[in-house]
């Protein structure tokens, strides 16, 4: 457990996630950040954490604060350490604004290397009308106490990764076969999700939630690395306080690529985010 997780319940705006995604304005549209080593999986910086950093810079650069739809193309592997985010306001409108952002780090000669490029349209979730005509219900989840995380046993559920200490991740046993040597063969992964320090979810942390579970490829029976090529997230509602349920599905594994579709449900049973990523399968 990290220090803050043992302290009182953290709040939005004053938590490890908020501190580790905080960007500093350096000049108009340009932000500095020191990427935290706290959100790494083995040695890779988590793609959802990186998207949250970019999403936060855009929230500052644009006149609207909430990412309605954000598309990221992952170019090169990010490392913990200094980075710069360059933003570009593409269009501002009354309801929506569109922006672009790139995350850069530095090579051995100090030259900028682009890590991720993002296009996004932002709006104001609180200004939307209240109509909800969602036709789907949350998937069936066992109660949280019947789900399992890295702290619950000897199974190596991301246990060696720094990010595991910062997340409350409780996997549905039905999608945990891979950790016990008997993957289900289905492209499904489901978990209760939160931040370990108790900070509630907000639109920014939803960008983390959609990319924080083990890859569905594990349950399909593949091991190895599944790097994201592109990830698009739609944030559809401000999440209610309390833990989230994240359900990820892969329907099409072909030609060495697969898609991961995530749905995120809040404690009020509302579908608060949908995402899809295209990932490469690098069989280990």
- Are 59 and 102 in contact by the 8 Å Cβ rule? The answer is no
CB of 181 to its own copies, least distance (A): 20
CB 271 to its own copies: min, Å: 5
Question: Is residue 133 involved in binding its own copies (CB under 8 A)?
Answer: yes
Encoded tokens for 125: 């979730």
What is the rounded distance in angstroms from the CA atom of residue 7 to the CA atom of residue 14? Answer: 12
Q: Is 120 in the site for its own copies (CB under 8 A)?
A: yes
Half-sphere exposure of 216 (CA within 13 A, CB side): 27
**Does 234 sit near its own copies (CB under 8 A)?**
yes
Nearer to its own copies, 132 or 180 (CB): 132
* Position among 79, 106, 142, 276 found at the interface with its own copies (CB under 8 A): 276
229 binds its own copies (CB under 8 A): yes
Count the residues of the shown chain that bind its own copies, applying the rule CB under 8 A.
52
220 lies in the site for its own copies, by CB under 8 A = yes
Does position 121 interact with its own copies (CB under 8 A)? The reply is: yes
Instruction: Indicate whether 90 belongs to the interface with its own copies (CB under 8 A).
Output: yes
Nearest one of 86, 133, 146 to 112, comparing CA atoms: 86
Q: Which is nearer to its own copies, 40 or 121 (CB)?
A: 121
The string over 150-159, giving b where at least 16 C-beta atoms fall within 10 Å of a residue's C-beta and e elsewhere, is beeeeeebbe
Q: Is residue 151 helix, strand or coil? A: helix
Is 267 a binder of its own copies (CB under 8 A)? no
Q: What is the DSSP string of 56-115?
A: HHHHHHSS--EEEEEEEEE-S---SEEEEEEEEEEEE-SS-EEEEEEEEEE-TTS-EEEE
Cα(133)–Cα(4) distance, rounded to whole angstroms? 39
Rounded CA gap, 101 and 14, in Å?
25
Nearest-angstrom CA–CA distance, 155 and 106? 37
When the beta carbons of 10 and 271 are compared against its own copies, the nearer one is 271
Residues 6 or more apart in contact with residue 84 via CB below 8 angstroms: 26, 30, 31, 32, 33, 103, 104, 105, 112
- To the nearest whole angstrom, how small is the minimum distance from the Cβ of residue 112 to its own copies? 13
Only segment of 49-57, 131-139, 156-164, 198-206 that touches its own copies (CB under 8 A)? 131-139
Stretch that binds its own copies, among 35-43, 64-72, 150-158, 159-167 (CB under 8 A): 64-72
Residue 265, CB-side half-sphere exposure with 13 Å CA sphere: 18
Contact mark string toward its own copies, 179..218, x via CB under 8 A: -------xx-------------------------------
Among 30, 96, 155, 174, binds its own copies (CB under 8 A): 96
The site for its own copies (CB under 8 A) is made up of 68-69, 71, 73, 75-76, 90-91, 95-96, 98, 100, 114, 117-121, 125, 128-136, 186-187, 220, 229-230, 232, 234, 236-237, 250-257, 259, 270-271, 274, 276, 278, 280
């Amino acid at each position: 457990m990290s220090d803050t997780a043992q302290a009182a319940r953290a709040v939005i705006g004053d938590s490890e996630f908020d501190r580790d995604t905080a960007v500093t304005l350096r000049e108009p549209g340009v932000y500095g950040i020191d990427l935290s080593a706290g959100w790494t999986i083995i040695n890779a910086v988590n793609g959802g954490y990186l998207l949250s950093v970019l999403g936060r810079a855009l929230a500052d650069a644009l006149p609207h604060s909430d990412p309605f739809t954000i598309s990221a193309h992952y170019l090169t592997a990010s490392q913990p350490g200094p980075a710069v985010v360059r933003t570009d306001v593409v269009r501002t409108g009354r309801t929506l604004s569109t922006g672009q952002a790139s995350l850069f780090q530095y090579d051995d000669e100090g030259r900028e290397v682009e890590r991720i490029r993002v296009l996004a349209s932002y709006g104001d979730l609180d200004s939307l009308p209240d109509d909800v005509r969602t036709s789907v219900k949350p998937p069936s989840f066992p109660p949280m106490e019947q789900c399992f995380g890295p702290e619950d046993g000897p199974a190596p559920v991301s246990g060696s990764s720094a990010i595991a200490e910062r997340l409350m991740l409780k996997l549905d046993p039905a999608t945990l076969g891979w950790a016990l040597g008997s993957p289900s063969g289905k492209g499904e992964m489901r978990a209760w999700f939160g931040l370990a320090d108790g900070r509630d979810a907000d639109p920014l942390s939803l960008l983390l939630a959609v990319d924080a579970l083990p890859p569905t490829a594990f349950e399909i029976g593949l091991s190895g690395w599944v790097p994201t090529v592109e990830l698009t997230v739609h944030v559809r509602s401000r999440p209610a306080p309390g833990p989230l349920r994240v359900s990820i599905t892969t329907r099409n594994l072909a030609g060495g690529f697969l898609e991961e579709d995530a749905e995120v449900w809040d404690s009020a049973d509302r579908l608060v985010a949908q995402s899809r990523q295209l990932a490469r399968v690098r069989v280990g």
